[in-house]
Amino acid sequence: MKASIRSILNFKGSEVRSVSPDTSVFDALQEMAEANVGALLVMDGGKLSGIVSERDYARKIILLGRASSDTPVSAIMSSKVLCATPTQTVEECMGMMTSQAVRHLPVLENKVVVGIVSIGDLVRAIIGEQQFVIEQLEHYIHGH
């Protein structure tokens, strides 16, 4: 059976770190550092309006010589956000993330954010599945 995004959220939790569109980029970076995450959802009135990542900061603030304390998150966030559902498989989401070159997927159920998964979460799930299969095959081969 293929692992679902719901199983990853059940394991890692569904806590979502977010900021509002008018939060300064500097404050968003502080939040990322404190939470040890590479991206934050941008929520406006409880609704997903974008995602902001360390990559956005590097490319749209540092390389353009802008000031992070004077720039709102809304100026650098990605507003076209690729999302997943809890019932999608890890493999489906890995394919989406790879083809679209994104590292974080908000998870929506009935248009409500219920979590977020990273490429690292998906890789860990795939490795865990493979280790389980290997152990089962070893038990079968050795007759245990």
The model's pLDDT over 33-70, given as tens digits with 9 standing for 90+, comes to: 999 999 999 999 889 999 999 999 999 998 888 888 99
Residue with structure tokens 């603030």? 61
- The closest alpha carbon to 24, from 62, 63, 52, 49, belongs to 52
CATH topology of domain 5-142: CBS-domain (3.10.580)
> Measured between alpha carbons, how far is 38 from 73 in angstroms, rounded to an integer?
14
39's CB contacts (< 8 A; 6+ apart) are: 32, 51, 52, 53, 54, 103, 104, 116, 118
1-20 per-position pLDDT tens digit:
578 999 999 988 888 999 99
Quote the distance between the C-alpha of residue 109 and its chain's center: 15
SS3 state at 84? strand
The answer, yes or no, to whether residue 82 has pLDDT greater than 60, is: yes
Q: What is the pLDDT of residue 144?
A: 62
